[in-house]
Structure 1
Amino acid sequence: MKVDWTALLQVFGATLLATVVVVTLFVVGIRALSGDKKVPAYASFAGCVAVVLYGLSLIVF
């Protein structure tokens, strides 16, 4: 059995990047809601939902 370390590193990098993007979008949305900026907050939350749904579609399909 041989482990493809390059592929493992790519998966790790993609996971780390996706996590940072989702957390950043969520924090921006929370900050926008606390400042009474509804439209940017909802756009940030929509971005979070889009990233999560894209990840789920990669897993399922």
Structure 2
Amino acid sequence: MTIKWEALLQVFGATLLVTVLVVTLFVIGIRALSDEKKGPAYASFAGCVAVVLYGLSLIVF
């Protein structure tokens, strides 16, 4: 049994990037809600939902 280190690093990098993206979008949404800017807040939360649903679709299908 061999470990494909390059593939493992690619998965790690993609996971790290997507995690940072979702957290950043969520923080932007929270900041926008605290400034009472509902449009950008809802757009940020919608981005979070889109990324999570895309990830779930990759797992399920």
Aligning the two structures, in what range does the TM-score lie when normalised by the shorter sequence? over 0.9
Distance in 1, Cα, partners of 2:53 & 2:18: 12
Unpaired runs of 5+ residues, structure 2, are none
| Divergent runs of 4+, >6 A | none
Q: Report what 1:28 is aligned to.
A: 28
Q: Which amino acid aligns with 1:5?
A: W
Q: Which amino acid aligns with 2:2?
A: K
Q: TM-score, normalised to structure 2's length?
A: 0.99
Q: When the two structures are aligned, how many residues end up with a matched partner? A: 61
Unpaired runs of 5+ residues, structure 1, are none
Q: TM-score, normalised to structure 1's length?
A: 0.99
